[in-house]
Structure 1
Amino acid sequence: MLNPMIGMPQGAEWLVILAIVVLVFGAAKLPDLARGTGQALRIFKAETKGLRDDDEDDVKDTTTPPVAPPPVELPPTTPEQPQAEDRQADKNNG
């Protein structure tokens, strides 16, 4: 069971946390910090959505069997004629 002493901060605790953040970063840096955090969250969401889409594509690819290409008919082959040098060698040997 959850310990009641450990939990989410309540109203006054958030004010203390906010005051510490302002002291550490300074009031001028807070908008930049919030903007950077927002951009990081958008990038993180986009990447996780992309990973989920890739996983769904992989599942779809594995469920459909691969289709074999139609057979290709090769042209008939003709026996090769011996070259002139081969004929000369045959005449000398035989």
Structure 2
Amino acid sequence: MDQVDEVIVDLLEVDGRLTHHEIARRVGLSRSAAAVRVQRLIASGQVVVRGVVHPAVIGRGTLAYVGMTVDRPAARVAAEIARRDDVPFLS
């Protein structure tokens, strides 16, 4: 990853919905060159795309993404969390 890629990653960390055109404008590349770089970063795993439903779509005022690392079987932990009324989705 070079300095331009680092700037692209920084931009996407602030706003993951930036278009290739906007990324290109901000880093001084053509749109197609920016698209190639973004796709390469995604393919390498250095950029990961995650989609999240807007909380209002599921009737919630707020929504949180929580990641956990556990030192016992994850299925048992997930089953306990899934029993909560305030957990609409678990994977």
Is this a same-fold pair by TM over 0.5? Answer: no
* Structure of larger gyration radius: 1
**TM-score, normalization: structure 2?**
0.23
**TM-score, normalization: structure 1?**
0.22
Instruction: Give the structure, 1 or 2, with the largest relative contact order (CA under 8 Å, sep 6 or more).
Output: 2
